[in-house]
Structure 1
Amino acid sequence: MYRSEPVSAPRLRLLGQFRLEYDTEAVELCMNAQRLLAFVGLRGHVSRTVLAGTLWPDVTEEHARGSLRTALCKLPGQERALLHCNRDSMSIADCVTVDAHALAETALSVVRATGTPDDRPALAVLRDCGDLLPGWDEDWVLLERERLRQLRLHALDAVAESLARAGCHALALEAALASVRIEPLRESAHRAVVSAHLAEGNVIEAVRHYRAFQRLLREELGLEPSHRFARMIPPTDSSPPITAR
């Protein structure tokens, strides 16, 4: 479909799916053009040698550089302006917003915070974003996906702790459960869930969640929760004693 000059800055969405859009209008690109934009978008600036060798690792350097030139040619004319190219390198244009960078910046701002900022906007970003380029299994994607996943998990832990200190227990629980959904075997997220329940006086909910995690850990890894976690749980008349190895 013909598109006139874009009315807003282009957005490169890499979380949840690949999508290049202006306003709400998506641009269809072939797979190699998507890979090219995604890699340069994530790196910001990269040499042509690294770019060609990473995207086409199983061919000669000459062949890889030829594939890179072909991928560039397959970008529609207007989309070529998204990349600044010179003889030795490429970079993403300043006008392009990349959602993976926004996620990383949000996560880093949370984990670096020393005060008590309002974490509710950060919670929405961290909770609602998807994984980086799901279904793409190239090494450069897997490494970046894991980096962003770890940043997101640590940020959600920090948000849960900050919101709990501020007395926002429901939101703290939301942050902790979002972390649990991403990585069900991560103990720190489960501790945050239990901490939020205890802060509201919901002891039974805390015990129930602890025991569910305990069963999961036994079934999946043959392990027990840490002593630190076990000590968080007060004894109840209706439950056997909490134990940990």
Structure 2
Amino acid sequence: MSEGECPVTLASPARVTLLDGFALRLGDDTQHPVRDLPRAIQRLVAHLSLSRCPHRNAVAGALWPDVPEDHAHGSLRSALWRLRRVAPGMVEVSGDSLCLRAGVRVDVRELETWASRILDPRVRGGDIAMPGKALRGELLPGWHEEWVLLERERLRQLRMHALEALAGELIVAGRFGEAVEAAYAAVHEEPLRESAHRVVVRAHLAEGNVAEARHAYESFRQVLADTLGVAPTPSMTGLLTELRPRVGDVGSMPTFGLLRKAPEAAQRSS
């Protein structure tokens, strides 16, 4: 907190941002984060945001793993005291557990709520949509603590599975543009993830865009060969099997095959 700033009680809104970087926003003006927040306080708030209500020992051990236990607990007490000066009442103590006060908004928890809704088989059709841009960022980029790395990968996997499931449901609902957007968002998370590319191909085929489906397949096949030296699985190649022309059956040839042969036929006739 900068010199001259007054602490803000949590009777007003509070929001913790962990995706695309740490920020703590207090008071009615939640657009502007608290400035010059010490790293120890950032780590404490981030850990409580991700761990919900951990035991004091777990917090001290995770945040200060390389010092003796009594020093770690001393550092935790100091960080809690400094956080209370900035945001009185933000952390509640229940026995030996530490929790963020109810009502503190955390973007990671909002992402988890969105993913849980998408993955719920009871939710369908018009009740589903892409997450907001604020929920698409990486967890605490540049932080390398073990507890951050584990949570970062967990959230990445959760978001990818939810995006793929969302794309599938949007295909069923006939919302093909949104389905393609969700599918490519999953591809962006992991460019070598075949299940994400499969849903891209499925979305194009469902909309009747055979050429785009084939292009998406060929692009993935080439990247996979160049990067890993492997071919797509039968689950992927099977999506395009029915599009391959049968020998001697011109009527079965897909549109993109006819378009490629048209210029050759025109040259022969001239």
Q: TM-score, normalised by structure 2?
A: 0.82
Letter in 2 for 1:9: P
1: CA distance, partners of 2:88 / 2:167: 42
SS of corresponding position for 1:124: coil
Q: Which segments of 5 or more consecutive residues in structure 2 lack a partner in the other structure? A: 245-255, 262-270
2:109 maps to what in 1? Answer: 101
Contact 1:72 1:80 (C-alpha < 8 Å) held by counterparts: no
Q: Could you tell me which of 2, 5, 8 is aligned with 2:5?
A: 2
2: CA distance, partners of 1:154 / 1:127: 18
2: CA distance, partners of 1:213 / 1:117: 29
1:155 maps to what in 2? Answer: 162
1:48 aligns with 2:51: no
Letter in 2 for 1:210: Y
1:27 maps to what in 2? Answer: 34
2: CA distance, partners of 1:71 / 1:83: 11
1:68 maps to what in 2? Answer: 76
Contact 2:8 2:87 (C-alpha < 8 Å) held by counterparts: no
Q: Show CA shifts across 1:147-196 (max 9, x none).
A: 11111011001110000001100000000000000110111111111111
Contact 2:20 2:141 (C-alpha < 8 Å) held by counterparts: yes
Contact 1:126 1:152 (C-alpha < 8 Å) held by counterparts: no
Letter in 1 for 2:48: V
Which contiguous aligned blocks of 4+ residues in structure 1 show a shift greater than 6 angstroms?
A: none
1: CA distance, partners of 2:176 / 2:228: 30
2: CA distance, partners of 1:192 / 1:185: 13
Q: TM-score, normalised by structure 1?
A: 0.90
Q: Which segments of 5 or more consecutive residues in structure 1 lack a partner in the other structure? A: 240-245
SS of corresponding position for 2:98: strand
Q: Which moved more, 1:167-176 or 1:191-200?
A: 191-200
Deviation at 1:127, TM superposition (A): 8.2
2:96 maps to what in 1? Answer: 88
| Largest Rg, 1 or 2 | 2
Aligned residues: 238
SS of corresponding position for 1:130: coil
Deviation at 1:88, TM superposition (A): 2.0
1:133 aligns with 2:140: yes
Sequence identity percentage: 42
Q: Could you tell me which of 189, 210, 224 is aligned with 1:217?
A: 224
Deviation at 1:54, TM superposition (A): 0.7
1:173 aligns with 2:177: no
SS of corresponding position for 1:81: coil
1:12 maps to what in 2? Answer: 16
SS of corresponding position for 1:145: helix
Q: Show CA shifts across 1:84-123 (max 9, x none).
A: 13562211100211110110111012112234242554x1
1: CA distance, partners of 2:196 / 2:220: 11
**Aligned pairs for 1:163-202 within 5 A:** 163-202=170-209
2: CA distance, partners of 1:80 / 1:41: 16
Letter in 2 for 1:118: G
